[in-house]
Chains A and B, each alone.
Chain A
Amino acid sequence: MESKDLPIALGTEKVGKLLMQYAIPAIIAMTASSLYNITDSIFIGHGVGALAISGLALTFPLMNLAAAFGSLVGVGASTLMSVRLGQKDYDTANKILGNVFILNIILGLAYTVVVLSFLDPILYFFGASAATLPYAHQYMVVILLGNVVTHMFLGLNALLRSTGRPQKAMYTTLCSVLINVILNPLFIFVFKWGIQGSAFATVISQVVMLVWQINIFSNKKHFIHLKKGTFRLQRKIVVDSMAIGLSPFLMNAASCVIVVLINQGLIHYGGDLAVGAYGIVNRVVFLFVMIVMGINQGMQPIAGYNFGAGHYDRVTEVLKKTLFLATGVMTLGFLIGEFSPHAVASVFTTDKTLINMASEGLRIVIVFFPIVGLPMVTANFFQSIGMAGKAIFLSLTRQLIFLLPCLLILPMIFGLKGVWYSMPAADLASSVISTYLLVSQFRKFRKPVIV
């Protein structure tokens, strides 16, 4: 929540201008975090090899899951922090900061210990083969050892945002990406540390920014800072934050399960390079998805406020503009992916087979991109106007409900291509459902009924 909680501008300023104002910082921040994995993939692909990309791709669900655990605390704590700051209750706010600090250390260490103990079996289950395991293993070991740092980095970033310093949070993310970009080629090409070099680059970039974050939070002049006595875990803070964070955590865990299933299908029907191909496709798709998610975040306050105030015309306007922008972005991705997939894949690797597989996969996966902006925006739209149930349902249709059965059935009919087909199939299904829900909602706008 911003310090003036309801800027009246949301109800009066031009919608287009507001959308840009809110969306651009969100877009920058969200694409920045997707650039992490893209940079790693690019340097590993060119510096280590095609199998290494497959190894890296196997680790994505583990890394997502780690981030999900981080947000289990971070998202909830941010909300709690906003409430306390709104009440100028700095004592409790500081306790929240201290608790986040400690909780992230505990969760981070726990995750590291558990996953490290079972790393190889987990990786095999995720679709590793004898050839790709060493790469995945080497990469994950370093990432896991640095997991505590990742947790704390993400958690403190969330608190930077909720304590009114969103620019600092954005700079932190951007700087860590930048450091990662510099260190990656250094470690891989110059020091020749192989795939581990990339992992070290990621961890070190986060360590550096964590130090900076701790420095910010140690500044006693700011009313929220780390102080003695706040590090004792308080049941209320822990339970309340996790209760809030549980929902995004489960969504994230669900998408990890999906990626694992996809990789299992790919390794079964297509082998290691298929896994690597999906790794590349996934990173490219993710970039465009992040941009759209940034636009959605921009839409949220505008749609929410105007819906609450009954300005349905402005709600419609912001929805239309967001749909337009989102569809535009996804269509751009569609055009790039369909007309020059080889060029895209070559960014990540020089291996001819891998390039071909990735191109083929990319072409299939993005075939419904021009319409998939609709379900993405619609889900977020329902969330903005307080209908979280519909929002979650829509997200799940795209990410789980249709994807899961498709992944189990289609490969049996089409083999490897079946795995690729599942994704656009889910996109299509969720687009249809979103259209239905959106149209019925707009009929309700004639007689405003608040759910």
Chain B
Amino acid sequence: MNEKFVINIGRQLGSGGRQIGEKLATRFGIAFYDKELIQLASKESGLAKEFFENADEKKSHSIIGGLLGLRTNISNEVYVNNYLSNETFFKIQSDIIRELAEEKSSVFVGRCADYILRDHPRCINVFITADTNDRVKRVALDKNITREKAQEVIEKTDKKRSEYYNYFSNKTWGVAESYHLCINSSVLGIDETVDFISQFVKQRLK
């Protein structure tokens, strides 16, 4: 496997997607990018990190959001688009993802990487889910909050991610059609899920 390849991980919050991604990267000896992308985007563009953090995996325009004017244009005729829009940040981040994918084999977590790299000849798109109980447990532990709060956070984050993905990609988030492999990490547990996915990747790249 000396040609470059890319593994794109879509994930529900609390499904262990990040962990799985990290372990896959270690397993194959390749780069891993999750929140690191924000740092890179900020450095490359010169724009402050906070903008990218605020825009991270959030769509900019919901209908209500439109009414409250979240990053919209006031005038009818738009001759020069708003530079500080989520669209700009997405473009910057997506350019970086493309550059990184060209440099070396990588694992990307979220951020519509599977859509951005849709023309990449050797990419594997995986979507990770988990049983609700496991997700709530994991999030509550990770963020040090109650299970009820964790449940709320999960619902909100999933909604934001799906809006983001559906807006910026041309596919639907969490739907089997959008990915090569969908897997529930609770079935085999994190480590064996990593094994399973690795096997899938190896066979795909033959």
CB nearest to A302 among chain B residues: B83
Residues A78 and B115 in contact, CB atoms below 8 Å apart: no
Looking at the assembled complex, report how far the CB atom of A148 sits from the nearest CB atom of chain B, in whole angstroms. 18
Neighbouring A residues of B65 by C-beta, 8 Å: 243
Q: By the criterion of a CB under 8 Å from any partner CB, how many residues of chain B are at the interface?
A: 44
Flag whether B48 is at the interface (Cβ < 8 A): yes
Residues A386 and B62 in contact, CB atoms below 8 Å apart: no
Q: Which of B28-73 touch A at CB < 8 Å?
A: 45-48, 50-51, 54, 61-63, 65-73
User: Beta-carbon contacts of A229-267 to B below 8 Å, as 1s and 0s?
Assistant: 000000010001001101110111000000000000000
User: Beta-carbon contacts of A368-392 to B below 8 Å, as 1s and 0s?
Assistant: 0000000000011001111011011
Residues A166 and B83 in contact, CB atoms below 8 Å apart: no
Flag whether A129 is at the interface (Cβ < 8 A): no
Task: Give the segment of B13-21, B88-96, B129-137, B138-146 that binds chain A.
Answer: B88-96
Flag whether A190 is at the interface (Cβ < 8 A): no
User: Beta-carbon contacts of B80-101 to A below 8 Å, as 1s and 0s?
Assistant: 1111110110111011000000
Task: Give the segment of B1-9, B151-159, B162-170, B178-186 that binds chain A.
Answer: B162-170
CB nearest to A383 among chain B residues: B74
Known: A89-B170, A308-B48, A310-B48. A243 touches B66 (CB 8 A): yes
Residues B80 and A252 in contact, CB atoms below 8 Å apart: no
Residues A246 and B66 in contact, CB atoms below 8 Å apart: yes
Flag whether B116 is at the interface (Cβ < 8 A): yes
Residues B69 and A392 in contact, CB atoms below 8 Å apart: yes
Residues B63 and A243 in contact, CB atoms below 8 Å apart: yes
Looking at the assembled complex, report how far the CB atom of B74 sits from the nearest CB atom of chain A, in whole angstroms. 6
Task: Give the segment of A3-11, A101-109, A130-138, A414-422 that binds chain B.
Answer: A3-11
Q: Which of B46, B73, B94 has the most CB of A within 10 A?
A: B73
Looking at the assembled complex, report how far the CB atom of B89 sits from the nearest CB atom of chain A, in whole angstroms. 9
Looking at the assembled complex, report how far the CB atom of B11 sits from the nearest CB atom of chain A, in whole angstroms. 21
Distance A317 CA – B82 CA, assembled complex (angstroms)? 19
Distance A293 CA – B77 CA, assembled complex (angstroms)? 10
Flag whether B78 is at the interface (Cβ < 8 A): yes
Looking at the assembled complex, report how far the CB atom of B30 sits from the nearest CB atom of chain A, in whole angstroms. 24
Flag whether B76 is at the interface (Cβ < 8 A): yes
Distance A448 CA – B87 CA, assembled complex (angstroms)? 23
Q: Which of B51, B79, B115 has the most CB of A within 10 A?
A: B79
Looking at the assembled complex, report how far the CB atom of A72 sits from the nearest CB atom of chain B, in whole angstroms. 10
**A contact residues, range:** 35 or more
Known: A383-B74, A388-B72. A301 touches B61 (CB 8 A): no
Flag whether B203 is at the interface (Cβ < 8 A): no
Residues B66 and A308 in contact, CB atoms below 8 Å apart: no
Distance A76 CA – B94 CA, assembled complex (angstroms)? 21
Neighbouring A residues of B84 by C-beta, 8 Å: 304-305, 307-308, 384-386
Flag whether A59 is at the interface (Cβ < 8 A): no
CB nearest to A311 among chain B residues: B46
Distance A253 CA – B91 CA, assembled complex (angstroms)? 32
CB nearest to B53 among chain A residues: A450
Looking at the assembled complex, report how far the CB atom of B10 sits from the nearest CB atom of chain A, in whole angstroms. 17
Known: A297-B79, A392-B74. A243 touches B62 (CB 8 A): yes
Residues A247 and B69 in contact, CB atoms below 8 Å apart: yes
CB nearest to B62 among chain A residues: A243
Residue among A33, A243, A385 making CB contact with B61, cutoff 8 Å? A243
Distance A166 CA – B81 CA, assembled complex (angstroms)? 12
Residues A1 and B67 in contact, CB atoms below 8 Å apart: no
Residues B48 and A248 in contact, CB atoms below 8 Å apart: no
Neighbouring B residues of A11 by C-beta, 8 Å: 46
Distance A236 CA – B90 CA, assembled complex (angstroms)? 19
Residue among A78, A87, A246, A308 making CB contact with B47, cutoff 8 Å? A308
CB nearest to B79 among chain A residues: A26
Looking at the assembled complex, report how far the CB atom of B116 sits from the nearest CB atom of chain A, in whole angstroms. 6
Looking at the assembled complex, report how far the CB atom of A226 sits from the nearest CB atom of chain B, in whole angstroms. 19
Residue among A68, A166, A243, A310 making CB contact with B79, cutoff 8 Å? A166
8 residue pairs from A and B, CB less than 8 Å apart: A11-B46, A26-B79, A79-B85, A243-B62, A246-B63, A308-B84, A386-B71, A389-B70
Residues of A in contact with B (beta carbons under 8 Å apart): 1, 5-6, 8, 10-11, 22, 25-26, 29-30, 33, 67-68, 71, 74-76, 78-79, 82-83, 86-87, 89, 91-92, 158, 161-162, 166, 236, 240, 243-244, 246-248, 250-252, 293, 297-298, 300-301, 304-305, 307-310, 379-380, 383-386, 388-389, 391-392, 395, 448, 450
Give me 19 other A-B pairs in contact (C-beta within 8 A), A6-B92, A89-B170 excluded. A8-B46, A75-B73, A75-B76, A79-B85, A79-B87, A82-B87, A87-B116, A91-B170, A161-B79, A243-B63, A243-B66, A247-B74, A248-B74, A248-B75, A300-B80, A309-B46, A384-B82, A386-B51, A389-B68
